[in-house]
Structure 1
Amino acid sequence: MQQPYQSIRHFSDLMSDFLDEKEHLKPLYHRFPHSKNFEDQIVEKKTEWKDAQNKRDVLSKVLEKQYQTIEDKKLSFENIKLLQDPNTFTITTGHQLNLFTGPLYFLYKIISTINLCKKLKQLHPTCNFVPIYWMATEDHDFEEIQFFNYADKKVVYNREATGGVGRLSTQGLDDVLSVFKNILGKHDNALEVIRLFKKGYLENENLADATRAIAHELFKNDGLVVLDADDASLKSIATPYFKDELISQASFHAVKNTLEEWPEQYKIQVNPREINLFYLTDDYRKRIIEKDGTYLIDETELSFSKDEILEELKKHPERFSPNVIMRPLYQEIILPNLCYIGGGGEMAYWLELKNYFDSQKVTFPILLLRNSALLATSKQLQKVEKLGLSIWDLFQLDHELTTQLTHQISDIKIDFTPQKLHLKKQFAELHELALKTDPSFENAVSAQERKQIKGLEKLEKRLLKAQKRKLKHHLDRALLLKKELFPNDSLQERQTNFSYFYQEYGTEFIEIIKESLDPLDLRFTVIEL
């Protein structure tokens, strides 16, 4: 079961218009994600990377090192080796290091990426396509990633945290596991969930390695390659662009020009800073601010002259961390990438960056909105049918749903439209009479008409409210089912952790998702489990 994203209230006007390929948005991206457009993207990226064998070798070598401790890595390692081949390209998604993967859309992002690689291989058999999960290891907002939701419980990793989250130690996560065990269900795969948590967090020393281990366990049979770009060798490749940012504030000027002409009906997702680089150490990640020729590290006493900061960049590129504006460029510099797959918020800030990419002479990737889905059991779908509803009705707000259902099942007609039309017909005759007298009488007739129409509307609302009270039991059943499928009145994928389904269905539910989703079918999917 599928519906266009544009028909679902949870998706922004910007994403709806992007998916509709509105003309006024076309200058903000390079190629739309139609399958036919990937051929031109491959040709362009291959040309850009024709003298980039060194970059491919560095990338492959870094990944081999990052995978040293990973077990059962045959398919991923084959893909890492393939990255040295000039006919190999990547499809990339990115995600934060959310505790135990965070919300369900972590899976949907990666599955979209894996499925697109398979589809492109069929269309372009002489090329290789490697699915990349780019870990946001340099993010420093720990509060965003320190929890996940299991059913109606919140599992939280409480600790002090500074600096890039990927470097944080996993100390204390054994206590989190103890809490998780107590709320985990008793289903057959609960032990497998616990094993996966242990393999990630109790067998690795930092969050980056832990997240890689978990993602690999879930997708090792698909050749997924998990990349931590917080690496000196990779950042050495990007130093010319980092230098340009420090000296010329290249991203600020390019993005600022884009935002000056940004369509006013859309919210601006992110505003650029004058320098869109952080200074990163094990202890902190702080903004770099240029003031009168001196480069200050925000909230510290550290400062550099222009020559000093360029020398620091040369000697220690790993200390320079791109922010949300520069990270996409960094990604496309070090990967032979064709397409970036992300959620609506990510797509929104990528659409701000096309001018910046053009100014740096870096190919802008195809942007693809990740698959979105609702997982529902056959029992839940049967309940929807018994209530006389469509599954799509549950996407409404609560009051919209109960109003629709009340109209459907009420044994009396609540719609006063016929009475309003009859009243308007009667007043039409009075208006004709008023035209033959004076304006004051016409005003009095109009006022009386508005008053009586408003009275009917008020009675209609009171009748609807009374019927809702009478039918409360039926309506409550519908709202309870909606709450199961849309926790906190949000899409399930933005709230529920994968473990809720894994502990009952095991890896089978991931395979069902893979088989149910087509990355180039830009519609919301309801998947029956």
Structure 2
Amino acid sequence: MPISTISYQQTGYFSNLICDYLDSKDSLSQFFGNFPSLENFKNQIEQKQNFSSESRATLVKALQNQYSSVPTSEETQNNIQSLLQENTFTITTGHQLNLFTGPLYFLYKIASVINLSEALKDNYPKQHFVPVYWMASEDHDFDEINYFNFENTKIQWSRNADGAVGRLDDKGLDKVFKTLGDSFGNSEQAQFLKNLFEEAYLKHDTLAQATRYLANELFKKYGLVIIDGDDASLKKAFIPYAEKELEENISFNKVTKTTKQLTDLGYQEQVHPREINLFYLTENRRERIIEREEVFYINDTDLSFSKEELFNELNNHPERFSPNALLRPLYQEVILPNLCYVGGGGELAYWFQLKDYFDAVAVPFPILLLRNSVLLVPSKLSKKLDSLGVSVSELFLKQHELKTKHTKRISEIEIDFSKQRTHLQQQFKDLYTLAKKTDASFLGAVAAQEKKQLNGLDHLEKRLLKAQKRKLVDELERLTKLQDILFPNQSLQERTKNFSEFYLEYGDRLFSEIKNNLDPLAHKFTILELQT
């Protein structure tokens, strides 16, 4: 399968922060620990070596309970059991509970942690590495996860939803199943997808259970371990950090300072810290905890606690306290023997806000790795691009830039007036020399005339380009149609399309080709041509 890469910087789709991180700019070094390279994992292993046997036992017991009704592979079972051993470490990614996995990059996140775990095992044979998917089951933004796109159609789960999304039941999913059944058709691959959806979403009680089943079915042969942080036994281990959060506002103070340092360098704030970065979680609500004059209020409710009452609540019911986006990374690192977090650009941006906070609470900061990004190019589209003489990498250009570049390439007449511009500037250089020998006021008149003449050339060039675009409109439309297919809504394919579109054509080969062709430490954007 043909494969090529381009730099993330070249794509134009990644922030300055991420591009500078990949370039290892010195100005960013204070905001992360070890840079993601094979040799740096040696230092990371040493930092995490003291993860306690008690914490390991708690983790394994929780995972065994979470997997109690999930038929899984020997590889995953062995990986869970291995977490009891002091030489076992995790490589973790997190993802929302998007309906039917949501956008394609879910696959790339999972492939990244699996492939990195395997690469580390080859390089550090005395250690064992477990790929982990952390389900964002406590998120409460249902509108972000209640749909997936299929062939330019939004297949959506409509219902009223409050509280943590992982606790939602399957109300209304039978209608979604009927819709996708009509859309997928009746091929062998379509039947697999329909069975997968039905088993996951119509035969499990909650969205978290459904998502675990789905991800397990897709990746269990690689030993993927799926963890749900909405677990009382795991949150019990987080109580000391939650108490500090409620009493000392450490995260607010540290993250606010770090965020200012990042914004002073010209980077955007990704997540805004609050004085208390914990939610109070009940069956149908997840609301912020707010302190006013030593009384703790639960936002938009009648509930309030004194400090003593709230700490008693935390110790008796830790499952009722839910970390927000800034505290969830700490929760993850406290309960997992984790070496590396694999995430998208937006995720890593808020991790950069956390380094000083981790140092303040004495928790090792993980290696941060940008997940693999991929453009899947069906071979039939690749052949059409070849016939136009256009490379796939050119499709990353903005559409107007792509049309301009291709017009200049195929035009029978030269549209670039650079030669004329250089010739004109040379003529005016001679006029400047003459002006200096006469009256100094003549210099201004020469400069004004030069500007007028150069603007005139620019105007003529634009008119000529516009005329050629009209003349070549048919070929340009073929080109932009191909770009629209591969970059829906002028966005990256991986942020829009669902895996089902490609699975219908390529079947299980889709997963094996993605897994086998992604290098998590290449730090490059991958272009993968799919052969029919």
TM-score (norm 1): 0.98
Amino acid paired to 2:202: L
Distance of aligned partners of 1:185 and 1:152 in 2 relative to their CA distance in 1, 3 Å threshold: farther
1:229 maps to 229
Q: What is the letter of the counterpart of residue 43 of structure 1?
A: E
- Partner SS for 1:39: helix
Q: SS of the residue aligned with 1:288?
A: strand
Instruction: Find out whether 1:415 has 2:419 as its counterpart.
Output: no
SS of corresponding position for 1:483: helix
Partner-residue secondary structure (3-state), 1:26: helix
Matches within 5 A, 1:6-405: 6-47=9-50, 49=51, 52-262=52-262, 263-405=264-406
Q: Give CA deviations for 1:391-418 in whole Å, capped at 9, x if unaligned.
A: 1001100011000100110000101111
The superposition leaves residues 450-502 of structure 1 with CA deviations (integer Å, 9 ceiling, x where unpaired) of: 11110110010000000001001111111011111111111111110011111
CA distance in 1, matches of 2:304, 2:19: 45
Q: Is the 8 A contact 2:294 2:307 kept in 1?
A: yes
Contact 2:277 / 2:324 at 8 angstroms: preserved in 1? yes
Deviation at 1:442, TM superposition (A): 2.0
Asked if the contact 2:155/2:179 (under 8 Å) is kept, the reply is yes
Whole-Å separation in 1 of the counterparts to 2:483 and 2:83: 45
Q: Secondary structure at the match of 2:297?
A: strand
Q: Secondary structure at the match of 1:261?
A: helix
CA shift digits 1:258-284 (9 cap, x unpaired): 123224321111121000000001111
Query: What letter corresponds to residue 114 of structure 1 in structure 2?
Result: I
Distance 1:331 1:435 in 2: 72
Identity of aligned residues (%): 53
Matched residue SS, 2:237: helix
Q: Provide the secondary structure at the position in 2 that maps to 1:75.
A: helix
How far the C-alpha of 1:437 sits from its partner, in A, is: 3.0
Give 1:63 deviation, angstroms. Answer: 0.9
Q: Which amino acid aligns with 1:4?
A: S
Distance in structure 2 (CA, Å) of the matches to 1:127 and 1:436: 80
334-343 or 251-260, which moves further after superposition? 251-260
Once residues 162 and 480 of structure 2 are traced to their aligned partners in structure 1, the CA distance between those partners, rounded to angstroms, is 41
185-194 or 167-176, larger mean C-alpha shift? 185-194
Counterpart of 2:166 in 1: which secondary structure?
helix
Deviations 1:167-213 (A, max 9, x none): 01111101011111222245430111101111110111110000000
Instruction: Say whether the 8 Å CA contact 1:185–1:503 is kept in structure 2.
Output: no
Long gaps (5+) in structure 2: none
Secondary structure at the counterpart of residue 21 of structure 1: coil
- Give the letter for the 1:377 counterpart: P
Task: Name the residue aligned to 2:451.
Answer: 450
SS at match of 2:272: coil
* Distance across 1 between alignment mates of 2:428 and 2:72: 81
Deviation of 1:84 after TM superposition, in Å, equals 1.1
Residues of 2 paired with 1:70 and 1:414: CA distance?
A: 64
Q: Pick which of 1-10 and 215-224 moved more.
A: 1-10
Q: Distance in 2 between matches of 1:53 and 1:419?
A: 75
Query: C-alpha displacement at 1:522, in angstroms?
Result: 0.7
2: distance between equivalents of 1:156 and 1:504? 23
Aligned counterparts of 2:151 and 2:251: Cα–Cα separation in 1? 42
One-letter amino acid matched to 1:199: E
- Match in the other structure for 2:6: 3
Letter paired with 1:296? Y
Q: How does 1:421-432 map to 2 (within 5 A)?
A: 421-432=422-433
Return the letter of the residue paired with 1:156.
Q
Looking at structure 2, the residues matched to 347 and 330 of structure 1 have their Cα atoms a distance apart, in angstroms, of: 16
CA contact (8 A) 2:72 2:216 kept: no
Report the AA paired with residue 22 of structure 2.
L
Quick check: 1:506 aligned with 2:522? no
Could you tell me how far apart the structure 2 residues matched to 1:76 and 1:305 are?
44
What is the deviation of 1:441?
Answer: 2.4
CA distance in 2, matches of 1:521, 1:288: 42
CA offset digits 1:71-101 (Å, max 9, x no partner): 1432211111111111111110000001110
Structure 1, residues 50-81: CA drift from partner, whole Å, max 9, x if none?
xx212111111111111111114322111111
Aligned-partner residue type, residue 276 of structure 1: N
C-alpha distance in structure 2 between counterparts of 1:5 and 1:297, whole Å: 43
User: Aligned-pair distance for 1:343?
Assistant: 0.4
AA of the residue aligned to 1:462:
R
Aligned length: 526
| Greater than 4 Å deviation, 4+ residue runs | none
What's 2:440 paired with?
Answer: 439
Between the aligned partners of 1:287 and 1:215, the Cα distance in structure 2 is 30
> For residues 186 and 374 of structure 2, what CA distance do their matches in structure 1 show?
26
CA RMSD of aligned residues (A): 1.1
How far off is 1:425 after superposition? 2.1
The amino acid across from 1:93 in the alignment is: T
1: distance between equivalents of 2:86 and 2:256?
Answer: 35
Q: Distance in 1 between matches of 2:329 and 2:396?
A: 33
SS at match of 1:85: coil
Match in the other structure for 1:465: 466
Q: Describe the superposition over 1:200-232 as per-residue Cα deviations: whole angstroms up to 9, x where unpaired.
A: 101111100000000000001011111001011
Q: Structure 1 residue 44: deviation in Å? A: 1.6
CA distance in 2, matches of 1:439, 1:177: 81
**What amino acid maps onto 1:75 in structure 2?**
E
User: Separation in 1 of the partners of 2:13 and 2:171?
Assistant: 37
CA distance in 2, matches of 1:178, 1:340: 37
Q: Distance in 1 between the 2:32 and 2:72 partners? A: 39
8 A contact 2:373–2:525 mirrored in 1: yes
Q: Distance in 1 between matches of 2:441 and 2:187?
A: 77
Which secondary structure state, in structure 2, belongs to the residue aligned with residue 408 of structure 1?
A: helix
What residue identity is the alignment partner of 1:12? Answer: S
Letter in 1 for 2:212: R
Asked if structure 1 preserves the Cα contact closer than 8 Å seen for 2:163 and 2:285, the reply is yes
User: 1:139-158, CA deviations, whole angstroms, 9 ceiling, x for partnerless residues?
Assistant: 00111101111121111111
Task: Give the TM-score normalised by structure 2.
Answer: 0.97
Verify the 8 A CA contact 1:192 1:503 in the aligned structure 2: no
Shift of residue 431 of structure 1?
Answer: 2.1
